[in-house]
Structure 1
């Protein structure tokens, strides 16, 4: 009987000792492939950036990162998918600014807001650019402005959707130059490039990196950076032409709101390492992608400032109608 009592007395202690390591264990992350959602069709600058980031992020996270294209509604479908996903760090979204900010402003029933995400980091700022077919009769930017003034609403302009950087660059350009073009939205830069090469649209709002990477058949007229791009040093900025227009596609990574702080911190650390990786930087240069790393909290603050600017712009002129 004495031996039995002793054994029973030891059982709670033994079970506690067995459970102790489990209590100290951290969750394994990732425990399945991580999705990196792109809200546009394959082949554009955002898609190229995502696939490059995915390869390097896999190394830092120690698990597979799979790019998943969910195009449509100017990127809203992809971002709303991320916002509604389980907040466990296994669904990431590569964002586009201004779409990340502009879509909730312009939509009557937006599928997400800025408050629906945790912000990992911004990585890229690729200036918006206006390009034409290599054989286009539009000789340069001044010629485009002159033709647009002579024949309003006759020159077609392709973008990747309402509220995207190239569409808002068009809106700002039209207001500054006093002209009106015909806006033609596409589900992504790839389909738009095909339409430009097929002469179905006269001017396309591809980013500098998208044209510089594969310039065959296209000619860049102007770009929306604050300075000339190293990837297109001969192409003037809008501001050099006398128009106060500046616009870029800023691409960063977000996860759903409510993702545990330790996972967000893990993703921020991994993304920072990717941004510092010489191999990643060299790959981006080879793809004509301009880097602009900003950590999550600073990026969120910058987006709040952009939100205020775009709301003022919407009040002056709703761009969905432009």
Structure 2
């Protein structure tokens, strides 16, 4: 009798605690993307959302909130209720550089990292009929006539913009920076010959290369997807830059939800469907778990702060 009484009492004590544990998700989870639909970040998010649904037992929708190099979306998620129903995509380096260059609506400390998912080197691309046949042609023109050669990117402080800034620092070339809100607009600008060159990642350019010529890419080595395209380092320009795209949640999100999302993300990047789709889009899966990822980002942020002190890129 005594043992049964103790067990019964334990069950009564446990019941309220269990009752206080909220079911998650209890409504659709939103992945908020800071760029227009149809771009690389948007496509990543939609694939991730589809594969996340069965792993968390709920629906996941993608919401596009483009603007300010991803700041609008990240700011909205930073201010959202930290209950696991609002998730943001991140793009490196904008996730770190936007708060460095201005009083932004977010900072890295507003979030907890779920994980980095993929990496995609930056590239320099022109119209296939452009007079610039090589990267050196483009650089020579920008040096001969400073502030006349246009170079488009999806936003100030994005990887594609900083690629241009660093190329300019290394070579003395001075470009005119033109901002668009995402990949589709950049592609239209190049194909319509509205700009001379653009920074757009290797993956989306390789996936639809018609009418374009890639002059160089900013990976550490030549890409298996475009072995014909030299790296900037090969061309004597000591610059590496890539879009790293990941997932974050507000900092006060319950630890149990964070852990579930981290486990789901680690499983998704190993999913054959995820790998197949990424490779079909010429993008490399590159998972890095949230804690280690944010530790690396903290170190990287210091380097960008030093670069900003030397070269305030918002003026370019």
Residue 243 (structure 2) aligns with? 249
Deviation for aligned residue 1:123: 0.6
Q: Given the alignment, which residue of 280, 304, 310 partners 2:298?
A: 304
CA distance in structure 2 between the aligned counterparts of 1:215 and 1:17, rounded to whole angstroms: 64
Deviation for aligned residue 1:21: 4.2
CA distance in structure 2 between the aligned counterparts of 1:313 and 1:24, rounded to whole angstroms: 50
Q: Given the alignment, which residue of 57, 61, 82 partners 2:77?
A: 82
Deviation for aligned residue 1:16: 9.6
The answer to whether 1:232 aligns with 2:226 is yes
Q: Given the alignment, which residue of 263, 275, 295 partners 1:281?
A: 275
Residues 150-179 of structure 1, C-alpha deviations (whole Å, 9 max, x = no match): 222211110001000000000000010111
The answer to whether 1:48 aligns with 2:46 is no
Give the TM-score taking structure 2 as reference length: 0.94
The answer to whether 1:67 aligns with 2:62 is yes
CA distance in structure 2 between the aligned counterparts of 1:95 and 1:268, rounded to whole angstroms: 15
CA distance in structure 2 between the aligned counterparts of 1:69 and 1:157, rounded to whole angstroms: 25
Contact 2:140–2:173 (CA under 8 A) maintained in structure 1: no
CA distance in structure 2 between the aligned counterparts of 1:217 and 1:41, rounded to whole angstroms: 22
Residues 57-108 of structure 1, C-alpha deviations (whole Å, 9 max, x = no match): 112112111110000011100100111110001111010010000000001x
Gapped regions of structure 1 (runs ≥ 5): 1-13
Q: Which has the larger radius of gyration?
A: 1
Q: Given the alignment, which residue of 271, 280, 285 partners 2:265?
A: 271
Deviation for aligned residue 1:290: 1.3
1:177-196 equivalences under 5 Å are: 177-196=171-190
CA distance in structure 1 between the aligned counterparts of 2:129 and 2:169, rounded to whole angstroms: 27
Deviation for aligned residue 1:258: 0.4
Residues 238-275 of structure 1, C-alpha deviations (whole Å, 9 max, x = no match): 00000111100110000001001111000000000001
1:146-185 equivalences under 5 Å are: 146-185=140-179
CA distance in structure 2 between the aligned counterparts of 1:29 and 1:320, rounded to whole angstroms: 41
Give the TM-score taking structure 1 as reference length: 0.92
Gapped regions of structure 2 (runs ≥ 5): 1-7
Residue 131 (structure 1) aligns with? 125
Residue 90 (structure 2) aligns with? 95
SS of alignment partner, residue 225 of structure 2: coil
CA distance in structure 2 between the aligned counterparts of 1:250 and 1:192, rounded to whole angstroms: 19
Deviation for aligned residue 1:24: 3.0
SS of alignment partner, residue 234 of structure 2: helix
CA distance 1:16–1:296, shift in 2 (3 Å): closer
CA distance in structure 2 between the aligned counterparts of 1:287 and 1:56, rounded to whole angstroms: 17
Deviation for aligned residue 1:115: 0.4
Residues 136-157 of structure 1, C-alpha deviations (whole Å, 9 max, x = no match): 1111112112222222221111
Output the aligned Cα RMSD: 1.7
Equivalent pairs counted in the alignment come to 309
